Amino acid sequence: MAQAKPLQGKTHQAKAQFGYRRHADQDRAGQGPAEHPVVVVGAGPVGLSLAIDLAQRGQRVVLLDDADRIGEGSRAICFSKRSLEYWDRLGVGDRMVAKGVVWSVGRIFHGDSLLYQFNLLPEDGHKRPAFINLQQYYAEAYLVDRISDLPEIDLRWRNKVTALEQRNDGVALTIETPDGAYRLHAQYVIACDGARSSLRQMVGAEFAGQVFEDQFLIADVKMTAEFPTERWFWFDPPFHAGRSALLHRQPDDVWRIDLQLNRYADPVVEKKPENVRSRIARMLGHDKFEFEWISLYKFQCRRMDRFIHGRVIFAGDSAHQVSPFGARGANSGLEDAENLSWKLDRVLRGTSPASLLESYHAERSMAADENIRESTRSTDFMAPNSHQEARLRKAVLSLAKETEFGKRMVNGGRLSVPCSYDSPLSSPDADVWGGGPSPGCSMLDAPVAEQAYLTDAFRKGGTDFTLLSFSNGAAIDVPDGVKDVRIGGEGGLADPSGLVAKRYDAAPGAAYLLRPDGYVAARFRHPTRAAIAAALSQAQGLN
Ligand SMILES: O=C(O)CCc1cccc(O)c1
């Protein structure tokens, strides 16, 4: 594994650099290209996480990146509870949370007054917080470190895919390196190569959606400040009249500031540090800060029509893009990775048919549509497209001063939560439930002991299909290969606060069948072996 060399942290500079290494696959004269089960293209948070997940499932992965560094400017900063739970399963959650700043409260201001505040996780009894803020370069560095524990992953820097050719049984790739080009074959290629994905172009895929004309200035500034660790969002603040602004704290006294600019602003002028400085000084009331990163964006909300093109599968920004408001970009990419990994593992092992991968497209394109819908609504509310939309917004902001329903209509970004799937892998409820996660929803966390949580029990020994059961004293016949997590009864886990039963609306005897990505496949008030087996085969794509 190449050792990371830390670089100086200046504006627009990378945080760690890795060495290019020649690989034996480049020296196969006369033998034909090397064959690999999976090639992941792109060592950003999504590609790195997917590679780790596949490796933990025992798959060999080649991970290619055209750069030799991470952290070319910070991008994603807000990582959701669901992403942290995923990173727990990949063995990096503690490190992310230890470095990140934890938050759950947001405040929305109009002018100079507070309109309302919200708490994204008001209840106790969860291992992970609603969100942490962490610079993307830290997240990537911790994932790269984790990869050094996993010999299954062969991470190759400065390996740029320049051509691909679909075959019946896989994909042939041409890869450019500092030593020249070489070829390799993969059964599956996973494109995690970001919004400007060159693999997307190589498969000739459409990428349709909406481009927003307003521009946003994004800056990471280093300063000591007393703002609380909360998300602050302003409509029409005194320091930036007629536009919106967003403030987030990050580790190391770095603050992310997003300022909406008008659509006619000249990007070259706006990006000049002296101009950014005066805007931010107006916001903060002082100019005692240093820049770590400055960028100017126009946002797009769009997705590929299909996430699967032959043997090339797209995940993260290569497949779908949203505006940053709502923190749905990186978090949904990580959900893509978790959704795809267990399915691809089963297909490669031959324990599920290749058609199981279709459910990746079905589920994750549904999630992309939801994210695009939410993100478009937020962006339209922040930057109205017409005189009528602007009048509506003015009326809503005025109503919000006085009424609860007005507050609910204000849209300063709805933050990422896991999508619920209307999925071919789910078995519909046959019993009556008054609550709890229904089939197609993500599992919920709850304490099972002092400092131990259901999500810990779920991941212990590797994430696989799991039967979460609530003991009534009778033994449940758990199918082969399904992990058993039992609440109550002899040898079972405790439910000290009663929150497991409450959150799952479970009486003794009930059971939930969880997929390896922590989604509910089916649930039963009175499980039978036959019903569990049928739901399991449905969820494994065997029906
Ligand atoms: O708080 C939000 O809605 C998202 C914050 C965010 C995420 C990624 C980039 C960025 O500039 C802001």
CA nearest ligand 1 atom 6, residue = 324
C-beta 218 within 6 A of ligand 1: yes
**What average pLDDT does the segment 65-81 reach?**
86
Residue minimizing CA distance to atom 12 of ligand 1? 324
Average pLDDT over residues 425-439: 98
What is the distance between the alpha carbons of residues 459 and 463, in angstroms, rounded to a whole number?
5
DSSP lists the bridge partners of residue 114 as 109
pLDDT over 90 at 17, yes or no: no
SS3 call for 222: strand
Tokens of 220: 């990471």
Ligand 1 centroid to Cα of residue 322, in Å, is 11
Task: Please state the rounded mean pLDDT for residues 499-506.
Answer: 98
Token pair recorded at residue 475: 């033994």
CA distance 266 to 256: 22
pLDDT digits over 349-389, tens only?
999 999 999 999 999 999 999 999 999 999 889 988 899 99
Identify the band that residue 206 occupies on the pLDDT scale cut at 50, 70 and 90.
Answer: confident
Per-chain mean pLDDT for the chain:
94
Alpha helix locations (H) across 272-386? 273-284, 329-349, 356-382
User: How are beta strands 447-449 and 452-453 bridged, if at all?
Assistant: antiparallel
Question: Distance from the CA of 311 to the center of ligand 1, in angstroms?
Answer: 33
> If pLDDT is split at 50, 70 and 90, which confidence band does 125 have?
very high
Ligand 1 contact, 299 CB (< 6 A): no
Q: Is 326 in the pocket of ligand 1 (CB under 6 A)?
A: yes
Smallest CA-to-CA distance from 381 within 238, 212, 208 is with: 212
Task: Round to whole Å and give the CA distance between 131 and 229.
Answer: 11
pLDDT band at 325 (very low <50, low <70, confident <90, very high): very high
**Is the shortest distance between the CB of 256 and ligand 1 below 6 Å?**
yes
Cβ of 77 below 6 Å from ligand 1: yes
Whether the pLDDT of residue 132 is over 90: the answer is yes
Ligand 1 lined by 324 (C-beta under 6 Å): yes
- Which residue puts its alpha carbon closest to atom 10 of ligand 1? 324
260-263 long-range contacts (CB < 8 A, ≥24 apart) are 260/214, 260/215, 260/216, 260/217, 260/382, 260/383, 261/214, 261/215, 261/216, 261/217, 261/296, 262/214, 262/215, 263/213, 263/214, 263/215
Which pLDDT band, with edges at 50, 70 and 90, does 10 fall under? Answer: very low
Q: Could you tell me the distance, in angstroms and rounded to a whole number, from the CA of residue 326 to the centre of ligand 1?
A: 7
Helix (H, G, I), strand (E, B) or coil at 482: coil
Query: Is ligand 1 within 6 A of the CB of residue 51?
Result: no
Ligand 1 centroid – CA 297 distance (Å):
12
What share of the chain has pLDDT > 70, as a percent? 97
Q: DSSP state, 25?
A: G
pLDDT for 9: 40
Ligand 1 midpoint to CA 39 (Å) = 30
Look up the ipTM and state it: 0.98
Q: Inform me whether the pLDDT recorded for 520 exceeds 50.
A: yes
- 76 ligand 1 Cβ < 6 A: yes
Q: What span, in angstroms and rounded, lies between the C-alpha atoms of 456 and 446? A: 10
Q: Report CA-CA distances (Å) from 303 to 2, 142, 329, 502, 513.
A: 34, 29, 12, 38, 31
Is the CB of 413 within 6 Å of ligand 1?
yes
pLDDT of residue 5: 45
Residue 14: band (very low, low, confident or very high) from pLDDT cuts 50, 70, 90: low
Distance between alpha carbon 9 and the CA centroid of its chain, in Å? 25
3-state secondary structure of 195: coil
Q: Which of 367, 379, 453 is nearest to 417 (CA)?
A: 367
- What does each C-alpha distance from 352 to 38, 345, 540 come to in angstroms? 17, 9, 6
- Give pLDDT, residue 475: 87
Asked if residue 220 has its Cβ within 6 Å of ligand 1, the reply is: no
Which among 290, 295, 279, 250 is positioned nearest to 73, based on CA atoms?
295
pLDDT at 73 over 60: no
Residue 486: is its pLDDT beyond 90?
Answer: yes
Determine the distance separating the centroid of ligand 1 and the alpha carbon of 375, expressed in angstroms: 11
For the cut 60, the answer to whether the pLDDT of residue 284 exceeds it is yes
Q: Residue 385 has what pLDDT?
A: 86
| Cα-to-centroid distance, 327 and ligand 1 (Å) | 5
| Distance from the Cα of residue 437 to its chain's centroid | 20
Give the confidence band of 461 by pLDDT, cuts at 50, 70, 90: confident
Per-residue pLDDT of 78-121, as tens digits, reads 999 999 999 999 999 999 999 999 999 999 999 999 999 999 99
Nearest residue to 465 (alpha-carbon basis) of 360, 541, 526, 358: 541
Q: 96 in helix, strand or coil?
A: helix
Best probe residue, ligand 1, of 74, 78, 322 (max atoms within 8 Å of C-beta): 78
Question: Is residue 501 in contact with ligand 1, taking CB distance under 6 Å?
Answer: no
d(CA 199, CA 174): 12
pLDDT of residue 231: 98
Find out whether the beta carbon of 73 lies less than 6 Å from any atom of ligand 1: no
Q: From CA 482, how far away is CA 317, in angstroms rounded?
A: 33
Q: Which two tokens stand for residue 268?
A: 């070259």
Distance 413 CA to ligand 1 centre (A): 9
Quick one: what percent of the chain has pLDDT higher than 90?
A: 88
Pocket lining: 328 vs ligand 1, CB cutoff 6 Å: no
Ligand 1 atom nearest the C-alpha of 330 is 8
Q: What is the mean pLDDT of residues 495-511?
A: 98
Q: Which helix (H) or strand (E) holds 506?
A: none
- Å from CA of 323 to ligand 1 middle: 8
> Which contacts (CB < 8 Å, 24+ apart) does range 488-492 have?
none
Atom of ligand 1 minimally distant from the CA of 327 = 4
* Three-class SS of 361-406: HHHHHHHHHHHHHHHHHHHHHHCCCCHHHHHHHHHHHHHHHHCHHH
